Chain A
Amino acid sequence: MTSILLALIIGGAFGVVLDRTGAANPTLIGKMLNLTNLHLAKTILLAIGTGSVLMFGGQMLGLVDVAHMSVKSAYIGVFVGGLLLGLGWAASGFCPGTSLVGAAAGRKDAWTFIGGGLLGAAAYMATYPGSKDMGLLDKVGGGKVTLGTVPGAKYEGLTMIPGDILGIALGAVFIIVAFMLPERLMKKADVVPAE
């Protein structure tokens, strides 16, 4: 029962912040990806950095259970799948999580995205043995690895650098980049204004 309660609280909070940060608004996603307004990119970079510093800092202080980490495997399909996701994310402005929040806010196109998504997930279920046979799921770089070696974690490190210190350092880099990133990269002249 506790886990259901936590799911409601953390999932609910995630839904609220995705709505309030504008991550579930395809216009803001589109402006970030065509490099005309990087406000949302700053939000995302700061979020990753904040999460990283708090998690690894908490681990070093013994406040965060290292066993709660869950590192996904690295394989060729991660890159190929990333390309596919990027294509659809740019075209629609939705990713799996933000489509749920967009639909909740009343966006009808988010509902059709979810319909397509359920079909796409089903298509992957049907073709999974094929991706496996093609070698798309073969591990690269050791599979489930972190960039440094995190003390007490069940995952191997790509390097011998202490993973918790590296995690805090990289978190700091994400935060600094968030502050340094300009509001826009694409010059106004490159984009035709709407009528």
Chain B
Amino acid sequence: MTLNWKIGGLALGFVFFLAVLLVKPIGVSTQFVIFDGILWNAVDSSVVTQADDGSYTSTNAYLAKSGGKYAKNIANPLNYSFIFALAMVIGGAASAYLRGGIGTDERNMPAIWRANFGDSVIKRYAVAFAAGFVVLYGARLAGGCTSGHMMSGMMQTALSGYIFTAGAFAAAIPTAIILFRKEA
């Protein structure tokens, strides 16, 4: 089911190359901010505003930073990066469907979690929710995630990519060793 690492690694590397060849390096976590902004601006249309010269800004300092580029993407959701994230969902869904899906047990929780913490879906969902909060808070503080910093960053020999990766594994490896003592 899972691709051999030699084929999978080449395929994954080729997609990262294709992105930088044709457009720009891959990154995902910014789109969580853009989606938040789209929702927020839908409720309160004063959040993102356009000036007379066509530039965008926001009442939120984070959305207004870097010349209002986040504000601009919130006002125009049909932009490359946001559609890219939506296309990932389509590609992931099609790929999983074509290999026959993941089964009911896996839909509820991954095997490694069940082996270590039992069948409670509430417990699993609560941890996944809290982890999502910490991951995206961290990714936004870092200015990127596993895609943008670790993969695209180290591929471009960016200093920031190496700093991020050191931090991510320094926390992730001890956490996983402590949490997952039973093999799935």
Asked if A7 and B145 sit within 8 Å, CB to CB, the answer is no
Name A's B-contacting residues (CB within 8 A): 3-4, 6-28, 30-31, 33-36, 39-40, 42-52, 54-55, 58, 63-64, 68-75, 77-110, 112-126, 128-129, 131, 136, 140-142, 144-148, 150, 158, 163, 166-167, 170-171, 174, 178, 186, 191-194
The answer to whether the Cβ of B67 comes within 8 Å of any Cβ in the partner chain is no
Complex: how many Å from CA A28 to CA B3?
12
Q: How many A-B residue pairs have CB under 8 A?
A: 529
Complex: how many Å from CA A93 to CA B101?
19
From known contacts A15-B88, A94-B132, infer whether A30 and B180 are also in contact, taking CB-CB under 8 Å.
Answer: yes
For residues 152 through 184 of chain B, which have their beta carbon under 8 Å from a beta carbon of chain A?
152-173, 175-177, 179-184
B-side contacts of A102, CB under 8 Å: 92
For residues 16 through 57 of chain B, which have their beta carbon under 8 Å from a beta carbon of chain A?
16-26, 28-29, 31-33, 35-37, 40
Beta-carbon nearest neighbor of A186 in chain B = B177
A-side contacts of B141, CB under 8 Å: 77, 80-81, 84, 124, 131, 136
Contact of B163 among A78, A108, A144 (CB under 8 A): A78
From known contacts A86-B169, A113-B132, infer whether A69 and B15 are also in contact, taking CB-CB under 8 Å.
Answer: no
B-side contacts of A11, CB under 8 Å: 83-88, 90-91
Asked if B91 and A85 sit within 8 Å, CB to CB, the answer is no
Beta-carbon nearest neighbor of A169 in chain B = B157
Asked if B112 and A158 sit within 8 Å, CB to CB, the answer is no
From known contacts A92-B135, A109-B124, infer whether A166 and B181 are also in contact, taking CB-CB under 8 Å.
Answer: no
Asked if B132 and A99 sit within 8 Å, CB to CB, the answer is yes
Contact of A30 among B35, B112, B159, B161 (CB under 8 A): B112
From known contacts A80-B142, A88-B138, infer whether A50 and B88 are also in contact, taking CB-CB under 8 Å.
Answer: no
